[in-house]
Amino acid sequence: MAASAAALALLAIPAGAGASVADFAMAVQPDGKVVVAGGSGRIGGAASGKEFGAVVRYDPDGHLDPSFGGGDGVVLARQLQPITDLDLQADGRILLVSSGGQLSRLRRDGGFDASFGVAGLSPPGALSAYFPTTVADLGPDGILVGGMTGYLEDPGEHLYGRLYLYPPDGLSSSWVGSMTSGDGRPGEPKTFLNDFVVGGEGEVFGAGTAAAREPTARSRAALAQLLPGPTDAGLYPTGPNPGFGAGAGLLTSDFAPADPLPEAANALSWDRGKLLLAGQAGSQLLLARYSRGGLPDPRFGRRGAVLASAGAAASASALAVTGTGRVLVAGSRAYGCGSGRCEGLLLARYKGNGKIDRMFHGGRLVRPPVASSHDSATEVAYGVAAQPEGAVLVGGLATTPGSSRFFLRRYLDDGKPDRDFGSDGRLTTLPLSAGTPPPGSGRRLLSGRG
């Protein structure tokens, strides 16, 4: 579940598009092991070769898991483009969706599951350009994949946030939902589906961005209840629930009307039966809560929303709700460094009413400087998870002008770094150097043969 920063393998997000897409995903297994997926992290930029999918598994203490992949905890997926999301199935297998639209599955040991789809791959949901951002396993009911279709560089494209349903075996897909009607009706905006959640009765709610069909239109955070089911005239889903948001259908934001920067909903979660979303409101970090019907929760923050400033621009990319009802929000903030501009980690913990939790880092936002000597380096969080005894795990991408690595940080219940995790609470992993695995590395390359 993702956020706005990374260059896409097929599509180039223009500045200000407000889409929430990144080549990174993180999940914690029931045994405490951490699975991270994204790109292969080449060194040297585009000249170093094509970047493809990579999956890494860590033991709970942050060491690479030798029982996964080729004996070093790393799986390199040459046939996949960089991975944008993953989900853990009940039997321990790992669903992966990539920036090119591919859906695939790994066995528990990291081996390629050739029994899934056709020769191990499911066909993309869309025939046109397709960038999936989220995958969710529904067990015997199938697999949901959400994302965006349309070519961003083509001003004539409508750009739709769409939802696709795959059967459990991954052999086909059908378009079952959309942030709009999907057939280009007059007045309907461009939409991105950045994240979705499934309710206890099968309801699907989507969050993302919406913007008028104008090249310079400012994007807004968007929230809707998607309606998987019958299509309009057999061609298009009927669009969102028209009664959601007091009749808005597609609910769009205006949290910071005076700020020229875009607004976006980058992550969505459940919070005691209500919808909790995180993203950006202009230059501020956004956290908001809505009822199931799409109404702002007046008991949360100020009229249902909390805004936080943390530099020239701040954005939330991931959120999680702890067992005690605390809300974890992670993302990034921009600031000047050296002669350039850096983007650093941002982490906060809130109480259930939207007030900052003063027991975590003294009630301040956690924002460590980028751990790099380079100008223009970044460390952006795209995943956050509650850990035992109140600890917090944060994951994302750490980049310099020449390379990209996965990073994990772990903080204790009081907001201090967990010095027993990685190196003083932080670790990084470069799955691949220069587009080719080092000789004798033992890293497993996936192929269609299984």
Task: Please name the amino acid found at residue 153.
Answer: E
Quick check: 387 and 401 in contact, CB under 8 A?
A: no
Residue 123 pLDDT: 75
- pLDDT tens-digit profile of 382-410? 999 999 999 999 999 998 877 889 999 99
pTM of the model: 0.89
CA torsion through residues 113, 117, 121, 124, sign: negative
The secondary structure of the chain in percent helix, strand, coil, rounded to multiples of 5, reads 5, 45, 50
Residue 372 pLDDT: 64
pLDDT per position in the chain (450 positions), as tens?
Answer: 333 222 222 222 222 333 456 899 999 999 999 999 999 886 655 545 678 899 999 999 999 999 999 889 999 988 888 999 999 999 999 999 998 888 999 999 999 999 999 888 887 766 556 788 999 999 999 999 998 877 656 655 667 888 889 999 999 888 888 898 766 677 788 899 999 999 888 889 999 999 888 878 899 999 999 987 655 555 667 789 999 999 999 999 989 988 888 999 999 999 999 999 999 999 999 999 999 999 999 999 999 999 998 877 899 999 999 999 999 999 999 887 777 788 899 999 999 999 999 999 999 999 998 866 667 788 999 999 999 999 999 999 998 877 889 999 999 999 999 999 998 999 999 987 434 444 334 444 333 222
**CA-to-CA dists, residue 177 to 146, 181, 217, 402, angstroms:** 9, 8, 25, 39
Residue 126 pLDDT: 62
* Phi-psi sector, 48: left (phi>0), alpha (psi -120 to 50), beta: alpha
- The residue with tokens 């203490």 is 61
E strands, 82-129, in order: 83-88, 94-98, 103-106, 121-122
Residue 3 pLDDT: 33
Q: Hey, what are 250's tokens?
A: 């597609």
Task: Please name the amino acid found at residue 163.
Answer: L
Q: Domain ranges in the chain?
A: 1-9+19-122, 129-252, 262-418
Which helix (H) or strand (E) segment holds residue 231: the answer is strand 231-232
Residue 252 pLDDT: 94
CA–CA distance, 14 with 25 (Å, rounded to integer):
22
Give CA angle at 24 (75, 181), nearest 5°.
Answer: 120
Could you give the count of Cα atoms lying within 13 Å of 339 in the half-sphere of its Cβ?
Answer: 0
Sheet holding 426-429, edge to edge: 314-321, 327-337, 340-350, 378-386, 392-400, 403-411, 426-429
